[in-house]
Amino acid sequence: MSDTVTPDTPEKKPSGEGGKTGHYVNPAPFNPFSVDELTPEQERYYQASQWKIMWWKFRRHRLAVWAGIILILMYLMVPFAEVIAPYTTEHRDDDHIYAPPQGIHLFHEGSFVGPFVYGYEYELDMERMVHVYKADTTKVQPIRFFCSGQKYKFWNLFEASFHLICPAEGGTLFLLGTDRLGHDMLSGVIYGARISLTVGLVGISIGLILGLLLGGIAGYFGGLADAVIQRMIEILRSLPELPLWMALSAALPVTWSPVWIFFGITIILGLIDWPGLARAVRSKLLSLREEEYARAAVYMGANPSRVIRKHLLPGFTSHIIASATLSIPGMILGETALSFLNLGLRRPAVSWGVLLSEAQNITAVTVYPWLMAPIIPVIIVVLAYNFLGDGLRDAADPYK
């Protein structure tokens, strides 16, 4: 019968075709949990540990990442200062006083020679009482790499003379020039990194220990302990740093070897810094203490140290690390200020602060400006720590 009207049967049509209904129907099997199911990315995110999330967030702050890389490179340099620096800090060349930096050249009179420096042509201008140095283009001094140069005592343990970079035999390699007694500035900067960079770390550890301890007590127990510690914090914060530094530094006996004086200074800087960390710890603890998981732990009978260690600590570790990182540059700058006041380290110990205080005069600023070169690593390190700290702080609260 051709006149019979038969309704269309709901046929299984392939997806994508409009078919008779015009809807799009997904041919895939129906999954009732599809809304709750996670995509692979989301799965990764939600299953990731706290630290992983922080790392991802940290990575977004590109400057912080670069800062971290730079700092790691610098710290790697610290144990090998003797090898990297072409000279030791005691080395003096009294034939090259106030010598300007030697530039590195590759081509000499058109032909490629490899990295080299030109020797100095020297004249003492008695009219203007100034050392005059010119590059002597006849003296080509190729730079040696992985060479045997000036002897040194590696970490004061054994003698060696292996250097990464040395001057040519009988030549000079003053890439940042020399100072008024003929010390190489570049070597000074490299050795100085050792002290200036570690001052921050050691000082901050002391500050951290004190800050965690006292801030923890104040935040967790509250009440009288809190009030007392808060008063202590307020008092220490309103005492100006300068005279504290002066008085405490004056108490360090000068017979102490430079190493001990260094530790003494870091202790002083750390002692003055703990209030900042303690405050941060305290405020964090105060809020975290009220969280349900913490209260649950207390009700279940955990003693305070367990509660703090297992439950509260993970919550604010990242914040503390961020705060601590931000305090380190203050210590580095503090060391330079102490050296400026003649209270910190002194030669033969060389730190960036010592070098900068030797450049603190009009002669260095106007006539021999390369003496101010240590200012650059100081700026770089302080900036790096600041950016690193910012990045860490941004990443510190991953569940925000």
Partner 1 sequence: MGSYLVRRLLTMIPTLLVISFLIFLIIELPAGDYLSNQIDVLRKQGESASIAKLEFLRKEYALDRPFLERYLVWLGAWSGPHGFDGLLQGNWGWSFEFEKPVSEVVGPQIPLTIVLNLSTILFVYMMAFPIGIYSAVRQYSWGDYTATTVGYLGLATPDFLLGLILLYLSNRWFGLSIGGLMDKEYIDQPMSVAKLQSILAHLVVPTIVIGTAGTAGMIRRLRANLLDELNKQYVTTARAKGLGETRLIAKYPLRMALNPFIADIGNLIPSLVSGSVIVSVVLNLPTVGPTLLQALRSQDQFLAGFVLLFVAVLTLIGMLISDLALAVLDPRIRLGAGTSK
Partner 2 sequence: MSNRLLATALAAGLAFAHPSAGQALELKETGTLSNTHDVGKLPPVAERVPSEPLIVDLAASGRTTGRHGGKIDTLIGRSKDRRLINVWGYARLVGYTEKLELKPDLLKAVGVEGDKVFTLHLRKGHKWSDGKPFTAEDFRYWWEDISTNDKLSPSGPPKFMIADGKPPKIEVLDATTVRYSWDAPNPLFLSQLAAARPPFIYRPAHYLKQFHIKYGDKEKIAEMAAAAKKRNWASLHNSMDEMYSAKNADIPSLQPWILSEKGNDRRYIMVRNPFYHRVDSTGQQLPYIDQVIMTVSGGGLIPAKAQAGEVDLQARNLAFSDITVLKRGEKNANYKTLLWPIAKGSEMAVFPNLTVKDPVWRKLMRDVRFRHALSLAIDRKGINKSLFYRLASEGNNTVLPKSPMFEKSYLTKWATFDLKKANALLDEIGLTKRREDGIRLLEDGRPLEIIVETAGESQEQLDILELISETWKKAGVKLFAKPSDRDVLRNRLLSGSTVMSVWGGYDNAIPTPAMSPAEYAPASVDTLWGVAWGDYNLSSGKSGEPIDYPPARQLFDLFRKWEASSTDAERAEIWKQMLEIHAEQTLSIGTVSGVRQPVVVSNRLKNVPKVAIYGWDPGAQFGLHRMDEFWMDK
For position 157 contacting partner 2 by CB under 8 A, the verdict is: no
Determine the Cα–Cα distance for residues 371 and 352; give it in Å rounded to an integer: 11
Of 142 and 222, CB closest to partner 1: 222
119 three-class SS:
strand
Which is nearest to 184 in space by CA: 97, 105, 121, 103?
97
Determine the Cα–Cα distance for residues 303 and 236; give it in Å rounded to an integer: 31
Which is nearest to 185 in space by CA: 361, 375, 381, 380?
375
Which is nearest to 261 in space by CA: 157, 360, 357, 338?
338
Q: Which of residues 324-353 bind partner 2 (CB under 8 A)?
A: 342, 346-348
Instruction: Please list the alpha-helical segments (H only) found in 222-257.
Output: 223-238, 241-250
For position 321 contacting partner 1 by CB under 8 A, the verdict is: no
Contact of residue 234 among partner 1, partner 2, none (CB under 5-8 Å per partner type): partner 1
The piece of 11-19, 293-301, 358-366, 379-387 that touches partner 2 (CB under 8 A) is 358-366
For position 151 contacting partner 1 by CB under 8 A, the verdict is: no
Contact of residue 238 among partner 1, partner 2, none (CB under 5-8 Å per partner type): partner 1
Contact of residue 264 among partner 1, partner 2, none (CB under 5-8 Å per partner type): none
Q: Which of residues 243-262 bind partner 2 (CB under 8 A)?
A: 254-255
Contact of residue 130 among partner 1, partner 2, none (CB under 5-8 Å per partner type): partner 2
For position 90 contacting partner 2 by CB under 8 A, the verdict is: yes
CB of 354 to partner 1, least distance (A): 12
Radius of gyration of the chain (CA): 32
The piece of 122-130, 185-193, 202-210, 233-241 that touches partner 1 (CB under 8 A) is 233-241
Q: How many residues does the chain have?
A: 400
Query: Amino acid letter at 36?
Result: D
For position 360 contacting partner 1 by CB under 8 A, the verdict is: yes
For position 310 contacting partner 1 by CB under 8 A, the verdict is: no
Of 12 and 128, CB closest to partner 2: 128
Q: Which of 19, 180, 244, 398 is in the footprint of partner 2 by CB under 8 A? A: 180
Determine the Cα–Cα distance for residues 339 and 330; give it in Å rounded to an integer: 14
For position 271 contacting partner 1 by CB under 8 A, the verdict is: no
Strand segments, DSSP code E, in the chain are 105-108, 111-125, 130-142, 144-154, 158-166
Of 157 and 250, CB closest to partner 1: 250
For position 126 contacting partner 2 by CB under 8 A, the verdict is: yes
C-alpha distances in Å from residue 24, one per residue of 16, 21, 27: 6, 9, 9
Q: Is 243 within 8 Å of 180 (Cβ atoms)?
A: no
For position 1 contacting partner 2 by CB under 8 A, the verdict is: no
| Residues 6 or more apart whose Cβ sits within 8 Å of residue 262 | 195, 199, 345, 349
CB of 233 to partner 1, least distance (A): 11
Strand segments, DSSP code E, in 197-286 are none
Q: Name the β-bridge partners of 158.
A: 154
Q: Which of residues 3-62 bind partner 2 (CB under 8 A)?
A: none
Q: By the criterion CB under 8 A, which residues form the site for partner 2?
A: 90, 92, 94, 97, 124, 126-130, 180-182, 254-255, 342, 346-348, 358, 360-363, 366-367
